[in-house]
Structure 1
């Protein structure tokens, strides 16, 4: 009994520490999956047009962002984070260009690659991503680039894993031909999820 009493606080601390690490790892995985799903959903969304290329609408952007919040579930991503969806394309000079950008969430994190319009002219903007993971669009194609920020709060031990912002990205080529002239908003108009 005495040995058990001495070891109980250590065992409790180890058990709760293990729970905190599991929760932290699980949140990282979930935020990563949300980024992948956001980019994938936006790369597939379209409105078919008779005699023309399909169009991406404000409604499609809103629904992709809403799906990310629903996927977040009890993470409360809308209140505790920010999702940014960018369309990476090639500008008239052959450089990379963030043609448009849509955001959602109550936090105010900006894109790590700049606002909508970054790289509109010239070739100075190299693309999105870092190091060997940088992506670049090809001419007449677009890449849906998703950024997800999430403010992680520890469950038990703040000293073990302090509060921090988890940041994940994902990129997907647009699956089919798409009218890349912009984001369309046919009647009935949907609200614009501007950044």
Structure 2
């Protein structure tokens, strides 16, 4: 029996199979995470770009004021664009209008609107109690060392998306991973920003972040 080598390769295969299966499943989970991170990143850029174009087709001689309805269209359109990511239930989109007040020499969040069921707030403040004019003074928005700052007489549309990425094999390989992406676009055309002490958007308030 000691010299009988029949079935040796089968035994070796049975020993290494669990290891290769674990590596394969883990690799698949990581690839799925990378794919969804890229989708969230692209969605963030798209929302910021679309928000920066609001009012661009207005042909009036007077710079247009952005409405609550227009912002709602951008946010709800993002939920449709997200598709299977299901941002509505698994994430949150935060759109902020970053502006500059030359009187006080401050960067501030003039208005901020959100959509999505995830309970999370902006990493940079809000449009009521901590908007840069009130609360801590802001140098801009962004997680990098060089923060995005709004120029005089215009605004920057700053978008944060926070998303709970579900593991392919929950409870086995890894748990949910929170993805956070940011993007910013300067407003593409003239826009009536209104005074800092006004709400900045016309119409009935929708998509509040509270």
TM-score (norm. length: structure 2): 0.83
Counting matched residue pairs gives: 191
Partner of 1:3: 12
TM-score scaled by structure 1?
0.89
Q: Does 1:19 align with 2:32?
A: no
Correspondence for 1:85 among 90, 95, 104: 95
> What's the CA shift for 1:141?
0.8
Within 5 Å, which residues of 2 pair with 1:95-106?
95-106=106-117
Equivalent of residue 28 in structure 1, options 31, 37, 46: 37
Q: 1:69 to 1:133 in 2, by over 3 A?
A: farther
In structure 2, distance between residues paired with 1:156 and 1:102: 34
* Superposition RMSD in Å: 2.0
1:24-81 per-residue CA deviation (whole Å, 9 max, x = no partner) reads 1111111111111111110012262623112322122111111221222111111001
Q: Radius of gyration: which is bigger? A: 2
Gaps of 5+ in 2: 1-9, 195-199
After superposition, where does 1:53-132 map in structure 2 within 5 Å?
Answer: 53-91=63-101, 92-117=103-128, 118-120=131-133, 124-132=137-145
Distance (Å, rounded) in 2 between the aligned partners of 1:144 and 1:138: 12
Poorly superposed stretches of 4+, deviation over 4 Å: 157-160
Partner residue in 1 for 2:168? 155
Return the match for 1:183 from 193, 201, 204.
201
Range 160-169 or range 101-110, more displaced: 160-169
Contact 2:170 2:176 in 1 (8 A): no
